[in-house]
């Protein structure tokens, strides 16, 4: 191994992570090296667990130009779906940020093919492979620096060989780059004191039905703070599905499902959608620190990012700047710090910090949040050198958005001190349909038994095996009452009851909670959530009808009274909730 401080012909470079950042860095290294007459040996190692719920890719004109410059052939079908704009929603207020014609492409093949990010990765990998990159299907465990000879010069010791340990094998390289995204990272196993970009929990899902097909509107949506535990929800339409992403410090899969039900209730999704795939993930949430070491650097989301940065331009920009830094100065830490971090990533790191901080202020801004985006968009000419915008748009820039979001947040907080709290009144509240009951239970026998009982009194009953459609149904066709099980597939029934009681369209709906766990704390939680009554399972028919109607129907009153403790209950729950 040579002790030179920069890459030269024959230098070996390992890239950890075969995603978009890894493939992009490989293509950029080989492209820039060839332009300088430097032939490199580039190996790309797998980056860890692949996500099953592959997100779509949003391609801006700048991103498409960067892909073309790296030798990528853009498939013509990628331009078949363009977004008309991005709608910002917060506390009933909405603003549409329009896209320029042909400005923002949604690349997505799910569910019939691969997600958009996978498709872009494949195109980049093909371009890198055609230029000589080799992709190694092994996960890296750690990176070690081989000890130099005791009498070696300082420059040689600092640029000593690096050994990549991957599933029992070890290979030596001049330089190693980490491009493993915002998921599991190597941490201190990459280099000492490595500090990646901070990240935030998120939950992503794919929806079939609802906002797809002929009724699809080519508009992405960002719903700010729909729940206390959710900072924001993204809804991005594809050709045959909708991608949903909720993020927040305490977000859970149940939070995402509840927000999706609220979105259907408020008309952001249509009735009948189905959650076809769901999993947790993490999003970058600001700039990383200590991004370089002798011969090592970090690219892509492992180095910086924020949740409003939904395009790929910034990731590809970091790949180009990392390649130039390695070729120009590269194997000693001070040179990499200057060329890559300070001179290369400076404005991108500022954008990441501003974008992450904007989220907090947008939550505080409440109903003023959509207007903050509009105000920031008008200031795009005052943006930084990079000039990249949020949400895949050319404007607003993260720095401009932070300024307007902070001002909107301050005004909203101060205004809340001065005004009398007044809840918005829905423009039209449907009337409750007499003798209409909803039964929500994932046990078919319980649903059937409750339906037969209520129909015997002349009532009309709609039963739900899947709770996702309930919010939408209640808002459009309010029932006399809802019989709600605690244990459901996606959302805890008590949280569902609480959500119904928090919205003006559904808060007056009567809710009776059922559970097989007849414990005081469960009963109290149900009542605290707004339930009218708690019914232990198996449900006693007489008690249920008495609670609903105030009387026992003649049909049951004339039947032989059961022996004490032997009333014919039904609906034995399969679970203890």
The single-letter DSSP state of residue 522 is: H
Half-sphere exposure at residue 242, Cβ-oriented, CA atoms within 13 angstroms: 29
**Arithmetic mean of pLDDT, 465-471:** 75
Task: Note whether 485 and 514 are within 8 A (CB).
Answer: yes
**Arithmetic mean of pLDDT, 407-421:** 80
- The alpha carbon dihedral of 454, 460, 464, 470 has a sign of negative
Selection from 515, 534, 529 nearest residue 575 by Cα: 515
**Coarse DSSP helix, strand, coil percentages of the chain, rounded to the nearest 5 percent:** 35, 25, 40
Q: Is 368 helix (H, G, I), strand (E, B) or coil?
A: helix
Quick: pLDDT tens for 365-401.
999 999 999 999 987 544 444 447 899 998 899 999 9
Instruction: Check pLDDT > 90 for residue 234.
Output: yes
Between 279 and 154, the more confident residue is: 279
Length of the chain, please? 577
Instruction: Check pLDDT > 50 for residue 196.
Output: yes
For 254, 441, 511, the CA distances from 523, given in Å and listed in that order, are: 21, 18, 13
Question: What fold characterizes domain 436-552?
Answer: Rossmann fold (3.40.50)
The single-letter DSSP state of residue 342 is: I
Starting at the earlier edge strand, list the strands of the sheet with 175-178: 134-139, 41-46, 12-16, 175-178, 296-298, 292-293
Please state, in angstroms and rounded to a whole number, the distance separating the CA atoms of residues 60 and 102: 9
Task: Note whether 240 and 209 are within 8 A (CB).
Answer: no
Q: Which helix (H) or strand (E) holds 405?
A: helix 398-418
Residue 461 CB neighbour total at 10 angstroms: 18
Please state, in angstroms and rounded to a whole number, the distance separating the CA atoms of residues 100 and 105: 11
Quick: pLDDT tens for 34-49.
999 999 999 999 865 5
Q: Is 519 helix (H, G, I), strand (E, B) or coil?
A: coil
- Give me the phi and psi of 235, to 5 degrees please: -125, 115
Task: Note whether 286 and 268 are within 8 A (CB).
Answer: no
**Arithmetic mean of pLDDT, 465-477:** 76
Longest dimension (CA), the chain: 103
Least confident window among 148-162, 370-384, 406-420, 536-550 = 148-162
Starting at the earlier edge strand, list the strands of the sheet with 85-90: 93-98, 85-90, 219-227, 230-237, 242-247, 199-208, 274-284
Q: Is 241 helix (H, G, I), strand (E, B) or coil?
A: coil
Quick: pLDDT tens for 255-266.
898 898 888 888
Q: Quote the crossing angle between the two packed helices 346-365 and 313-329, to the nearest 10°.
A: 150
Q: Where are the CATH 3.40.50.2300 domain residues in the chain?
A: 436-552
Please state, in angstroms and rounded to a whole number, the distance separating the CA atoms of residues 415 and 143: 54
**Arithmetic mean of pLDDT, 234-253:** 91
Cβ within 8 Å of residue 123, ≥6 positions away: 67, 72, 73, 74, 75
Average per-residue pLDDT for the chain: 84
Instruction: Check pLDDT > 80 for residue 557.
Output: no
Least confident window among 127-136, 242-251, 379-388, 530-539 = 379-388
pTM here is 0.81
DSSP strand pairing (242-247 vs 230-237): antiparallel
Question: What fold characterizes domain 12-352?
Answer: FAD/NAD(P)-binding domain (3.50.50)
Q: What percent of the chain has pLDDT over 70?
A: 85
Between 541 and 424, the more confident residue is: 541
pLDDT at 559: 46
pLDDT at 577: 37
Q: Where are the CATH 3.50.50.60 domain residues in the chain?
A: 12-352
Between 341 and 214, the more confident residue is: 341
Selection from 107, 369, 111, 109 nearest residue 222 by Cα: 369
Quick: pLDDT tens for 346-364.
999 999 999 999 999 999 9
Please state, in angstroms and rounded to a whole number, the distance separating the CA atoms of residues 350 and 260: 33
For 305, 345, 348, 350, the CA distances from 342, given in Å and listed in that order, are: 16, 6, 10, 11
Task: Note whether 284 and 199 are within 8 A (CB).
Answer: yes
Instruction: Check pLDDT > 70 for residue 566.
Output: no
Q: Is 260 helix (H, G, I), strand (E, B) or coil?
A: helix
């Amino acid at each position: 191994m040579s002790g030179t401080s920069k890459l030269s012909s024959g230098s070996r470079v390992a890239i950890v992570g075969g995603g978009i950042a890894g493939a992009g860095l490989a293509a950029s290294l080989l492209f820039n090296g060839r332009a300088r007459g430097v032939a490199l040996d580039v190996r790309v190692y797998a980056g860890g667990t692949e996500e099953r719920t592959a997100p779509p890719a949003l391609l801006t004109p700048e991103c498409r130009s960067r892909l073309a410059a790296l030798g990528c052939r853009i498939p013509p079908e990628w331009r078949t779906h363009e977004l008309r704009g991005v709608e910002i929603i917060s506390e009933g207020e909405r603003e549409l940020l329009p896209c320029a014609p042909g400005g923002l492409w949604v690349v997505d093949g799910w569910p019939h093919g691969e997600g958009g990010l996978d498709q872009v990765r494949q195109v980049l990998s093909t371009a890198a492979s055609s230029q000589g990159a080799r992709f190694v299907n092994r996960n890296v465990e750690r990176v070690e620096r081989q000890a130099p000879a005791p009498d070696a010069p300082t420059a040689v010791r600092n640029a000593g060989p690096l050994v990549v340990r991957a599933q029992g094998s070890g290979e030596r390289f001049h330089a190693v780059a980490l491009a493993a995204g915002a998921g599991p990272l190597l941490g201190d196993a990459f280099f000492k004191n490595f500090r990646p970009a901070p990240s935030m929990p998120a939950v992503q899902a794919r929806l079939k039905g609802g906002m797809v097909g002929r009724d699809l509107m080519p508009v992405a949506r960002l719903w700010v703070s729909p729940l206390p535990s959710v900072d924001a929800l993204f809804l991005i339409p594809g050709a045959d599905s909708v991608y949903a992403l909720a993020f927040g410090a305490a977000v859970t899969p149940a939070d995402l499902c509840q927000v999706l039900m609220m979105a259907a209730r408020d008309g952001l999704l249509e009735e009948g959608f189905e959650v076809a795939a769901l999993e947790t993930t993490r999003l970058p949430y600001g700039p990383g620190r200590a991004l370089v070491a002798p011969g090592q650097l970090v690219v892509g989301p492992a180095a910086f990012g924020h949740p409003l940065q939904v395009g790929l331009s910034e990731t590809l920009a970091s790949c180009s700047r990392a390649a130039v830094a390695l070729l120009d100065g590269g194997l000693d830490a001070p040179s990499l710090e200057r060329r890559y971090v300070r001179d290369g990533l400076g404005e991108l790191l500022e954008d990441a910090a501003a974008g992450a901080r904007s989220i907090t202020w947008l939550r505080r801004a409440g109903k003023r949040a959509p207007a903050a985006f509009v105000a920031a968009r008008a200031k795009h000419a005052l943006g930084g050198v990079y000039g990249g915008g949020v949400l895949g748009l050319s404007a607003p820039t993260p720095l401009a958005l932070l300024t307007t979001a902070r001002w909107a947040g301050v005004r909203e907080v101060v205004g809340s001190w001065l005004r009398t709290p007044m809840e918005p009144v829905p423009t039209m509240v449907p009337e409750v349909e007499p003798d209409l009951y909803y039964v929500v239970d994932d046990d078919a026998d319980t649903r059937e038994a409750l339906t037969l009982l209520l129909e015997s009194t002349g009532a009309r009953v709609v039963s739900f095996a899947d709770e996702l459609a309930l919010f939408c149904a209640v808002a459009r066709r309010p029932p006399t009452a809802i019989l709600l099980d605690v244990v459901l597939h996606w959302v805890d029934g008590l949280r569902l009851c609480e959500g119904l009681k928090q919205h003006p369209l559904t808060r007056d709906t009567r809710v009776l909670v059922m559970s097989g766990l007849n414990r005081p704390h469960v009963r109290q939680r149900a009542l605290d959530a707004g339930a009218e009554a708690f019914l232990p399972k198996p449900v006693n028919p007489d008690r249920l009808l008495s609670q609903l109607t105030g009387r026992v129907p003649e049909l049951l009153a004339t039947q032989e009274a059961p022996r004490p403790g032997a009333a014919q209950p039904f609906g034995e729950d399969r679970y203890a909730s």
